[in-house]
Chains A and B, each alone.
Chain A
Amino acid sequence: MKNHRSPQEVNAGSMADIAFLLLIFFLVTTSIENDTGLNRSLPPDVSDNIVDIKEKNLFEISINNADKIMAEDDIVDSKNLRDKVIAFIDNGGISNGNEAFCAHCKGNRLANSSENPDKAIISIKTQRNSSYPVYVSVQNEVIGAYNFLRNRESLRLFNTTYETIYSDYYNDEISEDQKKILKERLEVIRALYPQKILEPETVNN
């Protein structure tokens, strides 16, 4: 009698409940972490930071308490900001023959805009009631402008984008020798378009 009975099936119905319990536990104790952002370096805390900057080499962006963005005495839309910054950095206004002449610049070479990318300085001013997302947008557009120019030069010189070089450099799977080459390339491009972003202290008026 016993031998003829087929083996009894194990009831797996509660398995789903157990898995659900585990799932809910993980949903509660973990969070999806966000780990991207805009990297910036603050200037060191020294008081003797009076530098002589020619007015034409300074691109002033201000955000007022009503979140309006002003660049070079004009109210601008955040969409046009990047193009304006690119035009300013890439202007290369100094005349050919001068030692500071910018050969790789493709700008309009206007006399009243920046002399060369090394001298071009972007200043971002905010007021206490400007909102943070607008400030982040402005930072993003300025960094975007630099990235655009760096990508252009990187494509011209090394046939890859700046972003690929940068991400390869921080990739752990790449050998030390290759990293050396990548580092040199990064430095060449950074020297062509150094990021110079000023953030003066907030003025209350």
Chain B
Amino acid sequence: MIKFNKYRSSKSLPPVSTASLPDIVFILLFFFMTVTVMKNQNLLVENTLPTATETEKLDKKDRVIEIYVGKPTSEAKTNLGDEPKIQMDNKFITVDEVGDYALQALSSMPQHLRSVATVSIKADVGVKMGIIEDLKSQLRMVNLLKINYTTYEGAVTDNL
């Protein structure tokens, strides 16, 4: 012990070099830049997706119409209650408006993509089938028949 103290006092250790710290942080930064995408919507609803194993990759982003379903999040539910709501275009809409908004999204797409447009239903695990059925019948009415139940990859037993 005495020997050690003697050693330290006589010859202080060189400081740890932090020169490589920026490199490490830059690697992290590039990782996040590659795996993430810019948010185009602010989520107003809770959105934990169910899991499934037989999933297919969703089409390219330019031909997908997204519909979120879930309970309003704690920031958004000032006076909206607990019932699941539908979110499209950054705002809450009622079931009857789904067709109109979907057609609006469709018309903003380039002509050649309209026939391959897919509706991605991103519904929370807490949602009941009633609202999903209403949504589906609305989509049938405007003839948007390609739908995708967006899920996470995982065993279905996690759903139960």
B112, CB-defined interface residue at 8 Å? no
- Residues of chain B at the chain A interface (Cβ within 8 Å): 18-19, 21-22, 25-26, 28-29, 32-33, 35-39, 49-58, 61, 118, 120, 123-130, 132-133, 136-137, 139-141, 143, 145-153, 156-157, 159-160
Q: Is the interface of A mostly helix, strand, loop or mixed?
A: mixed
Once the chains bind, are A36 and B150 in contact (CB under 8 Å)? yes
Q: How far in angstroms is the closest Cβ of chain A from B48?
A: 9
Q: Is the interface of B mostly helix, strand, loop or mixed?
A: mixed
Which residues in A have their C-beta under 8 angstroms from that of B141?
Answer: 45
Once the chains bind, are B19 and A12 in contact (CB under 8 Å)? yes
Instruction: Identify the closest chain B residue to A27 (Cβ).
Output: B32
A194, CB-defined interface residue at 8 Å? no
A35 to B156, CA, bound (A): 18
Once the chains bind, are B140 and A43 in contact (CB under 8 Å)? yes
A15 to B141, CA, bound (A): 57
The answer, among B38, B50, B118, for a CB contact under 8 Å with A133, is B50
By size class, the interface of chain A is 35 or more
Once the chains bind, are B28 and A23 in contact (CB under 8 Å)? yes
Once the chains bind, are A16 and B156 in contact (CB under 8 Å)? no
Q: Mark A7-50, 1 if CB is under 8 A from B, else 0.
A: 00000110110111011001101111111111111111100000
The answer, among A16, A35, A63, for a CB contact under 8 Å with B18, is A16
A90, CB-defined interface residue at 8 Å? no
Instruction: Identify the closest chain A residue to B148 (Cβ).
Output: A37
Most chain B CB atoms below 10 A, which of A31, A79, A144: A31
A71, CB-defined interface residue at 8 Å? no
Which residues in A have their C-beta under 8 angstroms from that of B120?
Answer: 37
Most chain A CB atoms below 10 A, which of B36, B129, B149: B129
Most chain B CB atoms below 10 A, which of A39, A139, A170: A39
A38 to B153, CA, bound (A): 10
The answer, among A19, A130, A131, for a CB contact under 8 Å with B22, is A19
Once the chains bind, are A201 and B133 in contact (CB under 8 Å)? yes
Which residues in A have their C-beta under 8 angstroms from that of B133?
Answer: 126, 128, 201-202
Instruction: Identify the closest chain B residue to A204 (Cβ).
Output: B130
Q: How far in angstroms is the closest Cβ of chain B from A20?
A: 6
Q: How far in angstroms is the closest Cβ of chain B from A183?
A: 16
Q: How far in angstroms is the closest Cβ of chain A from B23?
A: 9
Q: How far in angstroms is the closest Cβ of chain B from A37?
A: 4
Once the chains bind, are B25 and A41 in contact (CB under 8 Å)? no
Once the chains bind, are A15 and B22 in contact (CB under 8 Å)? yes
Once the chains bind, are B129 and A129 in contact (CB under 8 Å)? yes
Q: How far in angstroms is the closest Cβ of chain A from B110?
A: 18
Decide: A37 near B58, CB < 8 A? Known: A31-B36, A129-B129, A132-B132.
yes
Instruction: Identify the closest chain A residue to B136 (Cβ).
Output: A42
Once the chains bind, are B37 and A36 in contact (CB under 8 Å)? no
